[in-house]
Structure 1
Amino acid sequence: MDSMRAAVLTGHGGNEVVSVTTRPMPRRQPGEVLVRMRASGLNRVDLYMRNSGAGITHELPMVMGLDGAGTVEEADPGSRFAPGDPVVVYPVRTCGRCEFCLRGEEVLCTSARYLGEHIDGSLSGFVCVPEENLVRKPEHLDWVEAASLCVAGLTAWRMIHTKGQVKPGETVLVFGIGGSVSLAALQLRADGGIRTIVTSRDQEKLDAALKLGAFAGIRTDSERFVDEVMDLTGGRGIDLVIENVGKAVWPQAMRALVRGGRIVTCGATSGDDPSADLRRLFIRQLKVLGSTLGTGSELAELVAFVDRHQVKPHIDSVYPLTRVHEAFDRMEAGRQFGKIGITFE
Structure 2
Amino acid sequence: MTVADVPEPPCRDGWVRVNVRAGSINQHDVWILKGTVPLTVGLPAVIGMDAAGTTDDGQDVIVHAVLADPAFRGSDETLDPRRTFLPEAGHGTLAEVIVVPRRNLVAKPKELSWAEAACLPTAWLTAYRMLFTKAGARAGDRVLIQGAGGAVSTAAIVLARAAGLQVHVTARDPVRGERARRIGAHEIHQPDDRLPDQMDIVIESVGAATWKASLAAARPGGCVVVCGASTGFTVPTNLARIFSKQLRIAGSTMGTRAELESLAGFLVAHGVRPVVDSVKPLAQVAHQFDRLLAGAAFGKLAVSM
Normalising by structure 2, what TM-score?
0.96
1-side partners of 2:28 and 2:222: how far apart?
Answer: 29
Is the 1:113–1:119 contact (alpha carbons within 8 Å) kept by the matching residues of 2? Answer: no
Map 1:140-155 → 2, pairs under 5 A: 140-155=111-126
2-side partners of 1:255 and 1:26: how far apart?
Answer: 49
| Pairing partner for 2:174 from 185, 196, 203 | 203
2-side partners of 1:217 and 1:308: how far apart?
Answer: 27
Residue 158 and residue 57 in structure 1: after superposition, are their counterparts in 2 closer, same or farther (change >3 A)? same
1-side partners of 2:40 and 2:281: how far apart?
Answer: 28
Q: Which amino acid aligns with 1:298?
A: E
2-side partners of 1:46 and 1:320: how far apart?
Answer: 17
Identical positions, percent: 38
2-side partners of 1:342 and 1:65: how far apart?
Answer: 10
Q: Which amino acid aligns with 1:93?
A: L
- Report the number of matched residues: 305
Q: Give the Å deviation of 1:96.
A: 3.6
- Tell me whether 1:48 sits opposite 2:31 in the alignment: yes
Q: Which runs of 4+ in 1 moved over 6 A?
A: none
Q: Give the Å deviation of 1:192.
A: 4.1
Structure 2 runs not aligned, ≥5 long: none
Partner of 1:125: 96
| Pairing partner for 1:326 from 283, 287, 294 | 287
Partner of 1:72: 55
Q: Give the Å deviation of 1:52.
A: 2.3
| Pairing partner for 1:256 from 214, 217, 230 | 217
1-side partners of 2:11 and 2:295: how far apart?
Answer: 37
Larger Rg belongs to: 1
2-side partners of 1:275 and 1:53: how far apart?
Answer: 22
Is the 1:167–1:190 contact (alpha carbons within 8 Å) kept by the matching residues of 2? Answer: no
Q: Which amino acid aligns with 1:30?
A: D
Q: Which amino acid aligns with 1:156?
A: A
1-side partners of 2:39 and 2:214: how far apart?
Answer: 28
Is the 2:199–2:222 contact (alpha carbons within 8 Å) kept by the matching residues of 1? Answer: yes
Normalising by structure 1, what TM-score?
0.85
SS state at 1:340 partner: strand
1-side partners of 2:42 and 2:150: how far apart?
Answer: 28
Residue 258 and residue 114 in structure 1: after superposition, are their counterparts in 2 closer, same or farther (change >3 A)? same
> For the aligned residues, what is the CA RMSD?
1.4
Q: Which digits, 9 at most, give the CA deviation of each residue in 1:157-203, with x for residues without a partner?
A: 11000001111221000011211111111111275431010112211
SS state at 2:100 partner: strand
Q: Give the Å deviation of 1:47.
A: 1.3
Partner of 1:213: 184
- Tell me whether 1:93 sits opposite 2:49 in the alignment: no
